[in-house]
Chains A and B, each alone.
Chain A
Amino acid sequence: MYQYDQYDQTLVEERVQQYRSQTKRYLDGDLTDEQFRSLRLMNGLYIQTHAPLLRVSVPYGLISTRQLRKLASIARDYDKGYVHFTTRQNVQFNWPELEKVPDILAELASVQMQSIQSSGNCIRNVTSDHFAGICPDEVEDPRPWCEIIRQWSTFHPEFTWLPRKFKIAVTATQKDRAATQLHDIGLHLVKNGQGDVGFEVLVGGGLGRTPVIGKLIRPFLEKEELLAYLEAILRVYNRFGRRDNKYKARIKILVNALGVDTFREMVETEWALIRQEEQLEIPQHEIDRIQACFAPPAYKADSGNSAELETQLAENRAFSNWFKQNTSEHKVAGYKAVILSLKARGCPPGDVTEKQLDAIADLADRYSFGLLRSLHSQNLAFTDVQESELFGLWQELEALNLATANIGTLTDIICCPGLDFCSLANASSIPIAKEISERFDDIDYLYDLGEINIKLSGCMNGCAHQSVGHIGILGVDKKGVEWYQITLGGSSEEDAALGARLGPAVSKADITDAIGKILDTYIDLRLEQEPFLQTVRRTGVQPFKEKVYAD
């Protein structure tokens, strides 16, 4: 993974001091609530219903065991013993004390971690494919480019007071595991007709109140132009994005208002000028240095006996279920990626205790070169496990309650904190996720249903991306009572689409039953192996609607 050099380390240490003095000024009364709010948000600190919440960046979802152990110790010393992984691959502490946050940042800086720009109206932590570097069909590892974007966007002098938050995601495979079409900028590493690698650039995607799928602005951008082009997009947005209404301030609104063609013209004009004015090309030696940080680990040429794995799979159904659901292919023969499910029955999705964190770190050291990934789906992954060691790893994960074989199934729910923690919430989400995971916990039933994702947000802000869930659930408030609006047929992947609304909102008491009826309808309607999403797209929501709202 990327290792800080003296510049990077100095920067995070200076940042800790800076934030310490900002906190002091606030506590001394030298900053108003409103002034401090902007400053603390740019450092990932929210004030929630019960306590502050600190969001720590996990750049492109890559994390070392040393860092994981640090998170565990912070959870013990400064928090209530657990952390929460988010849909943008970051990690959150739910109960830090505002006064202690500078100390937490100092702890994080000691392991090359930080929370710079993890919130606020600035360029946020860049995300990527959690399987970057191990996919057989990858055009090129996207992580070095993510790291370049991370550095370029950190304390950008011009783009730190944007109209609204700004999110960038980068992928390099056909399959989109990073929801790139729902980002302000989505970058896809692609090969052109000449065999050169560059970026396909999407702009103006986003969720929240006005969900929009990103639009193609440039089919092929030469790599050396990356920063110049990003500066051009950001400058057009910074100057012309709306600032009068926070719900209309994202770049998607600007792109829609101007039309993508006009927006593209403005960007390309700006880009041409930037190219004359500045030298933003990254020298090859620096690209080499950064790429070298992501060199593949020392895979074993002979990674063991596949006959033994076959036997283990044949003899142990629980293991073979887990193997089928929770492991994924690897470009190196004899290796697999393993997803650790943070969606055990009855547990808040994405939460991990400090004991689990320490244990996970030990396992990652023993089984996966001391590195792990956080996923958009709020799970964790070991990406480099030898097939011959899968059985042993599975047993150890079982003991930690991290081997629920439900990845990609109905109970692999993406869920926001909702009413339990979030001051903006209209309705609870964690208790609903819990109820669903308890009701539908028959593993054979889940496998029969196949790939279905539920995304569940406690308000219109849509932090859990419900509008692109196969099944989206949105909490709404009706006269102080919690109700839930359902959408069907959304997707955040390469076939990205917004879900269609099923009908009037459903009461809290009925929501799990409604999900049951949707599933029954699917089972009735599906053709042979047809996945849920395809069925909904084929039939539309009408048959589901009839079933759910029948008296």
Chain B
Amino acid sequence: MAGSHDHVEEALPPGKSFADRVYLPAVMRGLKLTVQKFFGTVTDKHATVQYPEVGIYDASEAERAIGHPNPRYRGEHILVKDEQGREKCVACLLCMAACPALCIHIEPEPTPPEWGDRERRPKVFEIDMLRCIYCGYCEEACPCDAIRLTPKFYTPTTSRTERVYDKERLLENNPAAQIPQRPAK
């Protein structure tokens, strides 16, 4: 750290030609893009979607939308179901142990005897989405692939309590359902 500033020289903009030094051509190039996109809006070739009136999971819209989330985006959780529609979660509480925000609350219970293939399941499964930092550690910790983070990021609610998701809500938490309804005119 002993005060050498040699690298400052290298950090200057790379262009050394005349055109680069007067800047104007670059400015013109930028303006050209702006104007193009501006007319694109008029001719129905949007660079953006009218979120939230238009959902980004609306297939036709999503294709054109530039900013639609990467499939690996970490949004709200979903509890995965098995082939018979039961939760895959065995209430091992490893996600709860891994969670750095301490926002998962699970109470295990024995499965009904007719299940046969496993011994326990969650009686209560709650995630406090307000405390969650969407780190994905729970997904990583799960030995049963029972919890996943979806790209669902549409999260506003009118009360804090609604942000504590219970088991039923997590099981049905479908990312496609994040298209909000266009408000009636």
**Are both chains from one complex?**
no
- Please give the residue numbers on chain B whose beta carbons come within 8 Å of chain A beta carbons, in ascending order: none
